[in-house]
Structure 1
Amino acid sequence: MMKINESSEKHFILIGFSEYPRAEFFLSLFVSGFYTMTLTGNAAIILVSILDSRLHTPMYFFLRNLSFLDMFFTTSIVPQMLVNMWGNKKISYVGCMVQFTVALAFGSSECVLLAVMSIDRCVAVCWPLRYTTIMHSRICHILAAISWIWGFGNSLFQSPLAIILPRCGHRRVDHFFCEILVIVKLSCVDTHPTEAKMLVARLIILISPVVVILTSYACIARAVIKMKSAEGRRKAFGTCASHLMVVLLFYGTIMFMYLQPKNNYSQNQGKALALLYTIVAPTMNPLIYTLRNKDVKRAIRKIVWKDSN
């Protein structure tokens, strides 16, 4: 028994997409391209929002935080995923534990931050004259800190529940990264109590921000309906459209994956959905905000034009 336990702690085997060896190579190119765009796009938003003084507003402060989270979240998964696709299917026991702990922390923080950003948009539309007074620097930093602390707290609660489970030599992970629920399924004991605790944590970290987002947009909708000018309505819609698109992309895949009944879930479906929220969503966020945002596009042109001269 001791030998089994010792061998199980050396490494895990990530199956990934090894059942499709030809597709795996092209998928690795797809992932590499999206990862490069994620790093470039989010780094550009961070740089531009810092360098351009006109973007020193609460909205862009939260957008910088979102870009940081996207970069860290994707980086906690993609490099190891590419190594896996290029032939090395092994990941160390410690590396696996660290990966799902870190990925869960950043992913959870993003859930809360998107709710915070909806509050910011609500204040901007509903109380435009008091916006700078309400969303002052100290409040913004407190809200951002709450997002990070809440996300990391969720990870610190769930991760130990998975780490302490005995696996009795089970090392084959049917995924392209160490996803916490997949690791739990490797256990050789009854995991229902652990999964129940994790479900409660997932509901809190997913449903609570959704309630805040829905409440914020209900207030926004009511304020927009009361607006008499079509120009004011268009401006309010433009203020919220980018954030709403990001919310739908991120929450749509996350909630479909983690809150659907088990009898409707397949592992291949889980891998496809995981690709969406770990690879595609962090790449789309900077594109959504830059393509729809005149201030960001103007700031980028200003910086590029200066550098070219």
Structure 2
Amino acid sequence: MTSNESAVREFILLGLTQQPELQLPLFFLFLGIYVVSMVGNLGLIILIVLNPHLHTPMYYFLFNLSFTDLCYSSVITPQMLVSFVKQNLISYAECMTQLFFFAFFVIDECCILTAMAYDRYVAICKPLLYRVTMSHHICLVLMVSGYVVGFVGALSHTVCMLRLSFCDGSVINHYMCDIPPLLKLSCTSTTVNELVVFVVVGVSIIVPSLTIFVSYTLILSSILRIHSAKGRSKAFSTCSSHVIAVSLFFGSSSFIYFKASPAGSVDQDKISTVFYTIMVPMMNPFIYSLRNKDVQFALSRTLKKRVFT
């Protein structure tokens, strides 16, 4: 940094919208979403821990997904809510910390969704080998690998961001410290950062997307060979929930990071980001569990135990 450049000590997050008449309604809307997300994901974690019959690979991944969503929401939403009620100041250190954990949990969620797709592939296409293929050791390796990939990716983004100088302003036109709006504020070259974005995001989106696509192509082929209409319906029901969540998460996140240029409609970017940072963590407990008879049974049994004890 040269002597005539001023180092930014804090940023101003403008939030989701600047229209005064929308601030209060949106505050209560996203507060409600945050509460539902916390209750849903925490409740699912507790259910899985308390019920031994849910201690299977499928629910092991679901446990990690709920934990990630729980942390994910807590990194993003509280800061967003502040923007609706007052000027939202965030220090440089806090901004970089939020960026790190945001990137970490985004990449980790990609890895977990991929592991869940592979689990469904083995369960439907190779049921006789399921216990061996999805052993406790394999599941642990898959999850640890996901956390390691998330850590390396988040560290790469954060370190590259720390090398930039922000002397062209301190106002971030967003509700969080995301990569594209931060790059727009930099008065130094962002070529390295953009390269890291394409490499890290490419690996964490393209590779999982291809893995999920191949898994579901094979799953669909196996389902179509099932003679029982009830069996096909059950398999389709299980897969459809995951496909919806994957499409929403990967679709909205890839739209942000694979545009030809970091410039463009900021409002459009913020709306797209809301889907995978706010909505997906809230929806996952519903689309993965409330339609699941095992989880409904576990919830019913747990509630009965608490009532009669």
Question: Taking structure 1 as the reference length, what is the TM-score of the superposition?
Answer: 0.94
Which piece of structure 1 moves more, 151-160 or 229-238? Answer: 229-238
1:88-167 equivalences in 2 (<5 Å): 88-167=87-166
Q: Which residue of 2 aligns with 1:61?
A: 60
- For residue 5 of structure 1, what is the aligned residue in structure 2? 6
In structure 2, distance between residues paired with 1:175 and 1:271: 7
Match of 1:188 in 2: 187
User: CA–CA distance in 2 between the matches of 1:197 and 1:43?
Assistant: 34
Aligned residues with identical type, % of pairs: 36
Structure 2 unaligned segments of length 5 or more: list them: none
Question: How many aligned positions are there?
Answer: 307
1:233-278 per-residue CA deviation (whole Å, 9 max, x = no partner) reads 1232233222222212211211222223338941001111111111
Which stretch of structure 1 is more off in the superposition, 59-68 or 146-155?
Answer: 146-155
Q: How does 1:61-80 map onto structure 2 within 5 Å?
A: 61-80=60-79
Secondary structure at the counterpart of residue 147 of structure 1: helix
Deviation at 1:169, TM superposition (A): 5.1
- 1:37 aligned to 2:36? yes
AA aligned to 1:259 is: F
| Structure 1 residues 180-227: Cα deviation after superposition (integer angstroms, max 9, x where no partner) | 221121111232342123212211111000011011111111211222
Q: How far apart, CA to CA, are the structure 1 residues paired with 2:95 and 2:195?
A: 22
Query: Helix, strand or coil for the counterpart of 1:76?
Result: helix
Query: Matches of 1:75 and 1:49 in 2, distance apart?
Result: 21
1:210 maps onto 2:248 in alignment: no
Code of the residue aligned with 2:179 in structure 1: it is: I
Gaps of 5+ in 1: none
Structure 2 distance, partners of 1:150, 1:275, is 24
CA distance in 2, matches of 1:197, 1:256: 17
Please tell me the residue identity of whatever aligns with 2:150.
G
Conserved 8 A contact 1:242-1:292: no
- The structural deviation recorded for 1:157 is 1.2
Give the aligned partner of residue 241 of structure 1: 240
Are 1:261 and 2:249 counterparts? no
1:17 Cα deviation (Å)? Answer: 3.6
- Provide the alpha-carbon RMSD of the alignment: 1.7
* Superposition TM-score, scaled by structure 2 size: 0.94
1:182–1:74 Cα change, 3 Å: same
Matched with 1:307 is 306
Q: Which residue does the alignment assign to 2:221?
A: 222
